[in-house]
A and B are shown apart, each in its own frame.
Chain A
Amino acid sequence: MKPAPTADLTSQALDRFREVNGLFPETSHILEHKRQGKKVLGWLCTYVPEEIMHAAGVLPIRITGYSHEIKPDEGNAYLYVNNCSFSRSCLQLGLRGGYDFLDGIAGGSTCDCARRLMDLWHHYIATSFYHMITVPQKYSSKAHELYYEQITQFTQHLSEFTGIEITDASLSHSIQIYNESRELLRKLYDLRKANNPPITGSEIIEISNAGFRMPKETFNEYLKNLLTNIDTSRHAYSNSRARLMLTGSILGNHEFVESIEQLGGLVVTDDLCTSTRHWYDMIEVNQDESPLRAISRRYLNNFPCARMIPHDERLKRIRDLAQGFRVDGAISQIVHNCTPYTHELSFVTKMLEAQGIPVLSLDVEYGTASSGQIQTRVQAFLEMLEGKRR
């Protein structure tokens, strides 16, 4: 099944994001920022608050691996074959100079592979700025206090590095810009609740990917343009066979989603850290509290990663999404050797199946566009879902 021909304005609006992705990893926006003498920092993991970097005049870009599947020669040699294929792909791209434009990196203690990626990056791809945030693995008030202290340190370190004072006013301004982005993405996602959504899951991944490599202000303009011009009568895919949710670890290549959608599986929502989990919660600044407090609370409480303990909140959020978007089935795609998500899979499966939502679990290489085996399994899964509906 081919995508239906897109209305011109919609496709033009989508093409703007595609243009950014076409220049991966060093986009024209990054070059322009650098040309203005400003700094670009790479962040790794959704627990590193972008607003703080933005408030320091920095362009925060997400560190990802290649946008396609690779033979991770250096990745294997440095990180060993048993580390997740995402971290190996990132390191290889870094070792081969793909991130030479970065002035520094910031990461969090989210999982073993991410912290080792940071260790090796620091050692073998030195940058002038390096910062590691301890991200508590629970939600207690003490955990919130520690995380607040950690991002306060991060703020101070960044101020010293950039020579720019990060004030409450600048943080509030950054929060406003990032919240606007979240609101716009929510509007876009809401369109996917329709029986025949005007946008595909694959297009959503393309949009998200572009958002990681350009100034948020411009990204917001692009999103507004898309929302204004999107033809809501457009049926991104006709005759879809089932509404699907994607769950699991990081996903970089939109072609993977496209391959599922071409078989008739319409991806209407996800809990991936490269899309929903990245933008989901708004930052709400309460009266008499500092913007940094609000940032801290939001980032630790945001739609949780599989690393968080207990896992109840993540399970609840996945269930709510599945219900809200009326999904028939879920596809778990877990990057090869990603242990946090592997551990959680049996819990997610049990919970979704109790809701009558079958789960297909796929172990994939980071960046993959699909494979014959994946196609066969998705096809069989869709047939099973159709059979269930009859």
Chain B
Amino acid sequence: MLMRTINRTEEAVICILLVAITLLVFADVVMRFGFNAGFMWSQELTLHMSAWFVLFGTSYGLKAGSHIGMDAFVKLFSFNNRRIMSGIGAILALVYCYLVLYGSWVYLAKMKKIGLTMEDLPIPVWLANGMLFVGFVFLTIRLFILLFAIITGKTDGFKHADEAKESMALAQEIMEEKRS
């Protein structure tokens, strides 16, 4: 139940961000063409929301198995060897997360210390760019879960097996709704 709530919240945030970006750009066009006006802040907000969208959504993408990779080589090996290779891969991906987390911490701390705000919005830079850190924390958690699944033999790679099940569940829900 808790996992389900977390999932739904995550999905909702991602969808809301994409819809908000689209509406904001559309509003820009309407304002300029229809009302001969414009917002100075809309470009900066749009661009930052798109960065939040990607950074926040990347860990979800790992869960949903939507990140693409080259699996041709790994496929040549047996299930257990694939697990070893993917395990190393997951650890390397964790190293990547660690490096980004470390770098972004230094960067954000520097911005906070200087007290820099964004160009058009009165928001501190460290807060606006903080999604860099948050997104990679989520990604780290997801990678640990994946690594655990690989170790316990539940999966052998980055494409999560649960994904198929889950989209089935969603399809079923839609079917049920249709019936009612």
Q: Do A and B bind each other?
A: no
